[in-house]
Structure 1
């Protein structure tokens, strides 16, 4: 995909489709995981057919095994994920929204790109 010529909504749609192709065991295929100080997984980067794709949780999620999953009226998850290619145009914001049970966070697209380039497997947030 040509990042410079693909509009952001179309790029995110293609990134989501590429992540769905990884199947239900996609967590095992992550090239990078981002964790908060409490060891919650905040985001992950996957190698896909569209290139590296970042997936971040945008809501607090459940806090235990008995918590019910929040579901919207049409079956969509309320705590949806933010999915986009790790590469973006120079005109886009560097910030990637994320969150976990500890609260909302903002990740740097550039720092994630650097971590993937250096073959890091885990980034621990402070």
Structure 2
């Protein structure tokens, strides 16, 4: 495989998604950081993978949390789109990454997420 810095944004996202998938059923044991909104909806997660820290979020309307079900009568067919990327951006990566919860769209800073991990925080509550 070529260097991560040689990958296009789309390739980086695919490689990041595979790294999270490779964690298998033990992925919860590899959580570095969780992000929740002010109403405690799940917004995003950062996992420790073989590639390093990988960011994952569902973008678009979806259930509040991993164990919640989408209210089909209101959101039929809207399950969100998985967005993954290597947290450590390269010189071409935007600092902001997309996220979503039932409260709406969010943009999170890669730098701030990295600082939270460095400070050994396990949860960020958005205000």
| Bucket of the pairwise TM-score, normalised by the shorter protein | 0.7 to 0.9
Please identify which structure carries the higher helix content.
2
1:12–1:66 CA distance, 2 compared to 1 (3 A): closer
Post-superposition offset of 1:88: 1.1
Q: Deviations 1:58-99 (Å, cap 9, x if unpaired)?
A: 02212664624855xxxxx74111100001112321111100
Post-superposition offset of 1:23: 1.6
Instruction: Could you tell me which runs of 5 or more consecutive residues in structure 1 were left unpaired when the two chains were aligned.
Output: 72-76
Q: How many residues align?
A: 121
Q: Please, what TM-score do these two structures have when normalized by structure 2?
A: 0.83
The ranges of structure 1 where at least 4 consecutive aligned residues each deviate by more than 6 angstroms after the TM superposition are none
Q: Distance in 2 between matches of 1:66 and 1:98?
A: 17
RMSD: 2.2
Q: Distance in 2 between matches of 1:78 and 1:67?
A: 10
* Alignment-derived partner of residue 51 in structure 1: 52
* Alignment-derived partner of residue 74 in structure 1: none
Q: Please, what TM-score do these two structures have when normalized by structure 1?
A: 0.83
Q: Distance in 1 between matches of 2:60 and 2:52?
A: 25
